[in-house]
Structure 1
Amino acid sequence: MAAEHARVGVDSEFAPLRTMVVARCEFRAPDEADSLGGAMPVPEDAAQVLEAVWGKTFGEVYPDKQRAWEAEREQLAAVLHSHGVEVLRPRLFDDSEKATAGRIGYANFFVRDPWFTVGAHVIEGALQFPHRRMEVLPSRDLLVERVMPAAAAYVSLPRPGAPPLGRRGPGPFLEGGDVLVLGTDIFVGISGMATDELGYQWLAKYLRPFGFTVTAVRLPAHVLHLDCAIGLVRDGLLIACPERLPDGLPEPLRSWEHIDVSEDEAAAMATNGLPIDPGTYITDPEFERVGAELERRGITVEYLDFSVSRLFGGAFRCSTQPLLRED
């Protein structure tokens, strides 16, 4: 194994990107809404699209949209390649995993959430929505191949309690979309829909001996993850939705310059762009206003249409997971 492959770690959300995992595009909806464990946090127009998918795969119902969805991720991978980033992909679910999922359904579409990297620590979390509980499995081969030979730690959150049918269960829950990394400052969103208090406490306890400070950030109940409210662009610059931050920005970020977005823009994923490095940022042309603000501050903005991915309540950050970001 090459030395480059043995390096695993994330210094910050915007440290130069070296190795990135880009998500697949698999979704089989639960047989009925009650088995989902709660409403999916998607815009109203997206909810109308997804209403036809209960008990089916997205591609069965919308083959053209499925192809467009896959093309979005391929285009993202190509842009990352063009910037010298090594791109890895999870595998697809196999037939036995699909059979095990059964009527609950399965998802393999937002690699940001089932596991994440903080410094030199790779952590498997646990997802609240029952149809996403197995989402870590398609990444497991990558983690074994890349993390096991590396100096990085590889740990997992304690397994959540078994959920009653149609409910999420007692946790603990910890999802990567709620975790923002800024050196030894770690921010964890808690809305009740994803990471819970016990998941936050576990992460804080685990990371504390390694010199990290883990700060909880309260979110409104309708906001799935912290990266749907805050996006760190470079040192001293962030994008935020004030309406989604009832207590304001976390203390270490309050002196930063911030580009504010509205609730509607945040719901469409305006904070969920992706820094390649401190001077380069990927977002959707839907957020050209935000892109123009970034360009005024010297950031090069790459635009990619991610309209199908955004139907599922996520965008560029949700669709990726770094294994190596280092200054």
Structure 2
Amino acid sequence: MLNLNIKNETSRLRAVILGTAVSNGPTPQVHEAYDPKSLEHILAGTYPVEEDMVNEMEAFNEVFKKYDVKVYRPEIIENYNQIFSRDIGFVIEDVFIKANILPDRERELEAIQYVIDQIDPAKVVRPPEEVHIEGGDVMPWNDHIFIGTYKGSDYKDYITARTNMQGVNYIKELFPNKIVKEFDLVKSKIEPRDNALHLDCCFQPIGTDKGIIYKSGFREEADYMYLVNLFGRENLFHIEREEMYNMNSNVFSIAPDVVVIEKNFTRLKKWLLEKGFTVEEVPYAEIAKQEGLLRCSTLPLIRD
């Protein structure tokens, strides 16, 4: 039996689901792109190839081995993208929440069913159909749960809008004792540099009191200021537009003092080292072309 425990983003990790790039399928057609960054690379002929992505994920897996983390991988579905396990589910406290994802990604949940089968069935929930929510938008942070959403009246027109207000309210009802704070994110179907696909594309807590943030990812300055006031401006590493595009906020914490980053994040690395973090670097630039990075490809199950 898996005793789930996720109270925040940074406590010492013990068990995680890491996606897989094996049998990832052919380069998608233009009309199949889920996000503007994938579309950009499909059109440019620079969409990542399977072998490179498999190697990148293996490098990430090696870091988990180094820190003695139990790693589960999805069962392989032939010719299918299963890299971003964060989208398909997430854990808050001891509850596994199945995400209501884009319908054609439903099979990804089936591929981790063998893990879900090891969880107390009373602790596995599935939101009703009108609730849209994806793990990239959900961040447990001790007494808080941060959730990315999109409040525009044209929500339904955006394939890049993944979590709706029904999703926010669903989590509020599920965890009445938590402070559930939603953030209205900037969305674009055409310009990846102006598209915060999920909350972890423009913000992520690290350590016990710090975070990485992209101010222009928030539609409302008040939402950005909420985080500044909560964490303190001096504790936030502000990234720029191009760094957001390269997913500098989409790192992954193995412990409060251990952060895994993409090896090209030089400015972030310098700051982390100055703040006393242990920095583990992996190559992930090919996977980044699909508008997802380290946090996106993990689904943490147990932290201390």
TM over 0.5: yes
Report the residue type matching 1:158 in the other structure.
P
User: Residue in 1 aligned with 2:19?
Assistant: 23
Q: 1:232 is matched by which residue type in structure 2?
A: P
Tell me by how many angstroms 1:23 deviates.
Answer: 0.5
Q: Decide which of 188, 193, 197 is 1:224's aligned counterpart.
A: 197
Other-structure match for 1:278: 256
Matches for 1:1-327 after TM superposition, within 5 Å: 6-25=2-21, 26-28=23-25, 33-34=30-31, 36=32, 40-42=35-37, 46-49=41-44, 65-93=49-77, 106-128=80-102, 130-145=103-118, 147-148=119-120, 153-159=123-129, 171-191=130-150, 192=155, 193-208=161-176, 211-221=177-187, 222-245=195-218, 246-247=220-221, 248-249=223-224, 251=226, 254-256=229-231, 257-326=235-304
- Work out the CA distance in 2 between the residues paired with 1:181 and 1:236: 14
- Kept in 1: contact 2:9–2:139 (CA 8 A): yes
Separation in 2, partners of 1:300, 1:306: 18
Structure 1 residues 176 and 240: CA distance shift in structure 2, 3 A: same
- The answer on whether the counterparts of 1:306 and 1:315 sit within 8 Å (CA) in structure 2 is yes
Post-superposition CA distance 1:60-91 (Å, at most 9, x none)? xx7xx311111111111111110121111111
> How far off is 1:41 after superposition?
3.3
- Two-structure CA RMSD over aligned residues (Å): 2.4
1:158: Cα distance to partner? 1.6
Q: Say whether the 8 Å CA contact 1:115–1:123 is kept in structure 2.
A: yes
**Identity of paired residues, percent?**
22
TM-superposed deviation, 1:286: 1.6
> CA shift at 1:253, angstroms?
5.5
Q: Is the 8 A contact 1:91 1:138 kept in 2?
A: yes
Deviation at 1:134, TM superposition (A): 2.8
Unaligned residue ranges in structure 1 (runs of 5+) = 53-61, 99-105, 160-170
For 1:46 and 1:31, the matched residues in 2 are separated by 10
* Aligned-partner SS, 1:295: helix
The Cα offsets for residues 98-124 of structure 1, whole Å up to 9 and x where unpaired, read as 7xxxxxxx5311000110001111100
1:29–1:131: 8 Å Cα contact kept in structure 2?
no
The alignment covers a number of residue pairs equal to: 282
CA distance in 1, matches of 2:264, 2:134: 26
The alignment partner of 1:15 has SS state of coil
Q: Is the 8 A contact 1:186 1:213 kept in 2?
A: yes
Unpaired runs of 5+ in structure 2? 156-160, 188-194
Query: Structure 2 vs 1, CA of residues 85 and 31 (structure 1 numbering), >3 Å: closer, same or farther?
Result: closer
> Could you tell me the TM-score, scaled by structure 2's length?
0.85
The answer to whether the 8 A contact 2:30-2:39 is kept is no
Quick one: distance in 1 between partners of 2:297 and 2:29? 25
For 1:290-313, what per-residue CA distance to the aligned partner results, in whole angstroms no more than 9, with x for missing partners?
Answer: 011011000011110101211111
